Amino acid sequence: MSVDVKKIVLEIIEDVAPDEDLGGLNPAESLRDQLDLDSMDFLDIVMELRKRHKVEVPSEDYPRLATLDSCVEYLSPKFA
Amino acid sequence: MSYDAIIIGAGMSGLAAGIRLAMYGKKVVVLEKHTISGGLNSYYQRRIPSTKEIFQFDVGLHALTNFAKKGEKRKPLTKLLRQLRIGYDELELCEQTFSQIHFKSAKLNFSNDFELLQSEVKSIFPEEFDNFQKLYQYILEFNEVNLNADYLSAKKVLESYIATPLLREMLIAPLLIYGSAWENDMDFSQFVIMFKALYLEGFSRPRGGVRTILSLLENKFKEVGGELRYRSSVESIEYNESGVSGVVLKNGEKLESKKVFSSAGLPETMDMCQKDKRSIIGKLSFTETILVFDKKIKHSENEPTIIFYNDSDQYNYQRAQNFYDASSAVICFPDNYESQNKDGHGVARLTFMAHFDQWNNLEKPDYLTKKNEVLSESKRILKNLNVEQSEIYSDVFTPTTIKRYTNHFDGTVYGSTTKYRDGQTKIDGLYIIGTDQGFLGIVGSMLSGISISNLYGLME
């Protein structure tokens, strides 16, 4: 059974940045350009992935979390 | 006992660091010397003899700088609430009415709407208005968070934009006294941070004062599983060539950890490591007078929240020559925030620059006499500002009071003139957070705890 990685990421963003509106997010566009997320928020996304799903993202891979699509592409194998 | 991280001091920065580390599963203890939290921003209570009522007084916090509206983007306050998972509404912020820079020959009002300051400059210093706008543009474009920037004198930059000395002095005065550890000038990047924090963002206050912030932090820290120990004074920080190994408490108990985050101040932390400290102790300490009146204060003109008072046109921001310097003062009227209760008692707080050694050398009877002198000077200034009411209670605290409760050497409030901006000390695993890491104000100290613990506690 495949895990809905997109849903997982969105749930985390919702908790990390509760005041952001996640409706109408373009999955191919940079999250930073669409939402008010800074490096501290990205750290939290990574920390929540580890805490909730035991998924590790080394710091050199942070750029791969740039868009919702790239998150799915990068994280899916880790959830498999 | 062994921990992932030990934090020294349950002030704003220590609690914020503790929350971040505990939130992500670290085993953390915060050690506080005092019986309550807060450090430099704390509170105390007194029973008023005549009415038997118990009053709680804030210490430190006159105003929370860096005001942001709910959900406002890219603001320090918004960032820190996010990082701590504290909701904006929980702070119950009340905005200032307006504040005033009150010099001998001119007054400038400012509020949380920068347009007020702009229009004040325009009407009082019309010939400087264009220059002021250029300075404002320069500030907006300046990268104040570049940690590698060289020191740049704020006064020199001001001189290059603004020709009138009085306006320069008036603009820098609140920014110096709200956080500068240096006398009479500050680094321009600090100036920009403070300019934004005070003039562009502005002041507010949680409805319940400093206790609102502290109980939010304490509750959050406990909720995420942190351990908070009061009456736990650190005797020494233990380390060897490979770095920190833990701390020893005054009662002899040893706690182990490879990471220690200290908010005790830089010289104070070095002292716990048995290293030299004298050369880096800051010079700025203060007295504060607290006056409680039988009813709310009547102001002759409107109701300012904070007055930056200076009885001449040149501002001296330096250690007082004598016990205290009553030629300038910061005067806070905590009742003059929006939607504060308009009935009941009135409160005024006055801060003077002071000199630690002079207070420290006094015997008790002389100490009390000097405190009374500060009280009458405070009342004299209020009278000059046409605030004359019947007082039901007054109290004065001095640099020695600050030393006693915060353990800051020489009662310094803004810490050492040496700041460790990246938080790192020469000892591996020992990090500086809070005032001596170098972010200013209450919002700054919480951000300091957050960013340094993120960097060295979480991003491994």
Q: Provide the angle, in degrees to the nearest 10, between the axes of the packed helices B129-141 and B114-124.
A: 150
Count of structural domains, chain B: 3
- ipTM of model: 0.91
- Residues in contact with B289: Cβ distance below 8 Å, sequence separation at least 6, in sequence order: B349, B350, B352, B374, B375, B378, B394, B395, B396
Is B69 in CB contact (< 8 Å) with chain A? no
Assign A59 a pLDDT band (cuts: 50, 70, 90): confident
Give residue B297's pLDDT: 83
Nearest CA of chain A to the CA of B305: how many Å?
Answer: 30
Give CA separation, B301 vs B21, B202, B203, B344, in Å. 48, 21, 20, 20
pLDDT > 70? residue A2? no
Same domain, B197 and B232: no
Assign B342 a pLDDT band (cuts: 50, 70, 90): low
Calculate mean pLDDT across residues B180-207. Answer: 94
Beta strands in B333-408 (DSSP E): 346-354, 391-397
Is B426 in CB contact (< 8 Å) with chain A? no
Residue B156 per-residue DSSP state: H
Calculate mean pLDDT across residues B113-120. Answer: 98
Give residue B300's pLDDT: 64
Nearest CA of chain B to the CA of A21: how many Å?
Answer: 11
For residue B309, the cross-strand partners are: B102, B329
Nearest-angstrom CA–CA distance, B143 and B23: 31
Q: Given the DSSP bridges, would you call strands B260-262 and B430-432 parallel, antiparallel or unpaired?
A: parallel
Give residue B298's pLDDT: 76
Nearest-angstrom CA–CA distance, B305 and B289: 16
Q: Is position B36 within any domain?
A: yes
Same domain, B240 and B173: no
Give residue B341's pLDDT: 67
Same domain, B399 and B432: no
pLDDT > 70? residue B15? yes
Q: Given the DSSP bridges, would you call strands B324-332 and B306-310 parallel, antiparallel or unpaired?
A: antiparallel
Nearest-angstrom CA–CA distance, B313 and B42: 33
Domain extent at residue A23: 5-79
pLDDT > 80? residue A55? yes
Per the listing, tokens 């914020």 go with B16
Residue type at B253 in one-letter notation: E
Nearest-angstrom CA–CA distance, B193 and B179: 11
Q: What is the pLDDT of residues A61-77, one digit of tens each?
A: 999 999 999 999 999 99
**Residues of A within an 8 Å Cβ radius of B:** 15-19, 36, 38, 40-41, 43-44, 47, 50-51, 59
For residue B391, the cross-strand partners are: B293
Domain extent at residue B260: 5-41+210-280+417-458
Contact residues on chain A for B450, CB-CB shorter than 8 A: 40
Nearest-angstrom CA–CA distance, A10 and A4: 10
Q: Is position B367 within any domain?
A: yes
State whether A40 and B82 contact (CB < 8 Å): yes
- DSSP assignment of A7-54, as one string? HHHHHHHHHHSTTS--TT--TTSBHHHHS---HHHHHHHHHHHHHHH-
**Which strands form B227-229's sheet, in the order they lie side by side?**
B227-229, B28-31, B5-8, B260-262, B430-432
Find the closest chain A residue to B73 by CA distance: A36
Q: What is the pLDDT of residues B223-264, one digit of tens each?
A: 999 999 999 999 999 999 999 999 999 999 999 999 999 999
Point out the residue among A18, A36, A47 whose CB comes nearest to the CB of B24: A47
Same domain, B356 and B341: yes
Domain end among B201, B232, B253:
B201
- Average pLDDT over chain B reads 94
Calculate mean pLDDT across residues B329-346. Answer: 83
pLDDT > 80? residue B222? yes
Mutate to test the interface with A, among B70, B82, B454 (most CBs of A within 10 A): B82
Q: What is the pLDDT of residues B76-108, one digit of tens each?
A: 999 999 999 999 999 999 999 999 999 999 999
Mutate to test the interface with B, among A12, A13, A19 (most CBs of B within 10 A): A19
Give residue B344's pLDDT: 78
Q: What is the pLDDT of residues B22-52, one digit of tens each?
A: 999 999 999 999 999 999 999 998 888 888 8
Give residue A1's pLDDT: 46
Count of structural domains, chain A: 1
Calculate mean pLDDT across residues A16-45. Answer: 90
Q: Is position B76 within any domain?
A: no
Q: Is position B71 within any domain?
A: no
pLDDT > 60? residue B336? yes
Q: Is position B158 within any domain?
A: yes
Q: Given the DSSP bridges, would you call strands B107-110 and B324-332 parallel, antiparallel or unpaired?
A: unpaired
For residue B397, the cross-strand partners are: B288
Per the listing, tokens 């409030």 go with B413
Residue among B347, B350, B345 nearest B378 (CA): B350
Same domain, B304 and B232: no
State whether A47 and B83 contact (CB < 8 Å): no
Burial class (CB in 10 A: 0-12, 13-18, 19+), B206: buried
Calculate mean pLDDT across residues B309-319. Answer: 97
For residue B351, the cross-strand partners are: B288, B330
Terminal CA-CA length for chain B: 23
CATH code for the domain of A39: 1.10.1200.10
Nearest-angstrom CA–CA distance, B228 and B11: 11
Q: Is position B129 within any domain?
A: yes
Same domain, B356 and B447: no
For residue B256, the cross-strand partners are: B2, B246
Contact residues on chain A for B85, CB-CB shorter than 8 A: 15
Residue B59 per-residue DSSP state: E
Give residue B39's pLDDT: 93
**Could you tell me which residue, B275 or B283, shows the higher pLDDT?**
B283
Nearest-angstrom CA–CA distance, B278 and B34: 24
Same domain, B195 and B218: no
What is the pTM (predicted TM-score) of this model?
Answer: 0.94
Q: What is the pLDDT of residues B129-175, one digit of tens each?
A: 999 999 999 999 998 877 677 889 999 999 999 999 999 999 999 99
Burial class (CB in 10 A: 0-12, 13-18, 19+), B376: exposed
